[in-house]
């Protein structure tokens, strides 16, 4: 059987791709991503520097830098972004670095869609684990609840790790238990 893709079918395929709200972050979205990070309140100055380093690495070369970004778009507006990448020396391990939604787009499932997209990509690459490091402070309570609802297990809490009163919480989720246990 031969499937013919005429102009109408091609246009429909393009429309379907355009309709996908999740796409690799574009260079023109850099300022919006920075603003979402700044608006999230839980990023302080030094962490925003880290967002810049991450954006620099991603726009230079995602593969070499290990930094990957996806935007959730509504037209030209970026509603949220996620940054993630493979762990060095590991075939199956990935880190989720940042996930954030702009304040006026919250409670619409943006972060959930971004998280599921990253998990789908990691699975497609044969990855088995996603690790998330976050803070144990009250401003991060919503993030911790989100990770738990997404099926991430809290592995450890290292109190005062970042600074006094600000500890490290490590979460991880195994994606491919059937595939990896062999």
The residues of the shown chain that bind a copy of itself, judged by CB under 8 A, are 46-47, 50, 87-93, 128-129, 131, 155-156, 158-165, 168, 170, 172, 174, 180-182
- Cβ at position 133, least distance to a copy of itself in Å: 9
Between 67 and 72, CB nearer to a copy of itself: 67
Measured CA to CA, the distance from residue 108 to residue 31 in angstroms comes to: 22
Residue 129 contacts residue 85 (beta carbons within 8 Å): no
- Cβ at position 91, least distance to a copy of itself in Å: 4
Between 42 and 105, CB nearer to a copy of itself: 42
**42 vs 38, 82, 91, 143, CA distance in Å?**
8, 15, 31, 10
Measured CA to CA, the distance from residue 84 to residue 34 in angstroms comes to: 16
Between 80 and 86, CB nearer to a copy of itself: 86
Between 57 and 110, CB nearer to a copy of itself: 57
- What tokens does 124 get? 């497609």
Between 34 and 112, CB nearer to a copy of itself: 34
- Cβ at position 20, least distance to a copy of itself in Å: 30
Residue positions counted in the chain:
182
Residue 66 contacts residue 86 (beta carbons within 8 Å): yes
Measured CA to CA, the distance from residue 57 to residue 12 in angstroms comes to: 34
- Cβ at position 17, least distance to a copy of itself in Å: 33
Residue 80 contacts residue 71 (beta carbons within 8 Å): yes
- Cβ at position 129, least distance to a copy of itself in Å: 5
């Amino acid at each position: 059987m031969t499937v013919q893709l005429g102009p109408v079918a091609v246009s429909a395929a393009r429309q379907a791709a355009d309709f996908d709200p999740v796409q690799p972050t574009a260079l023109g979205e850099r300022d919006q991503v920075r603003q979402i990070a700044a608006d999230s309140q839980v990023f302080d100055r030094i962490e925003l520097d880290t967002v810049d380093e991450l954006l620099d690495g991603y726009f230079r070369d995602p593969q070499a830098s290990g930094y990957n970004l996806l935007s959730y778009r509504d037209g030209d507006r970026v509603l949220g972004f996620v940054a993630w990448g493979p762990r060095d020396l590991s075939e199956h391990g990935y880190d989720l670095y940042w996930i954030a939604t702009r304040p006026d787009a919250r409670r619409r499932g943006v972060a959930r869609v971004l998280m599921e997209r990253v998990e789908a990509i990691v699975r497609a690459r044969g990855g088995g684990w996603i690790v998330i490091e976050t803070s144990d402070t009250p401003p991060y309570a919503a993030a911790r609840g989100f990770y738990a609802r997404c099926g991430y297990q809290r592995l450890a809490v290292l109190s005062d790790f970042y600074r006094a009163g600000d500890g490290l919480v490590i979460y991880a989720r195994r994606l491919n238990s059937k595939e990896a246990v062999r």
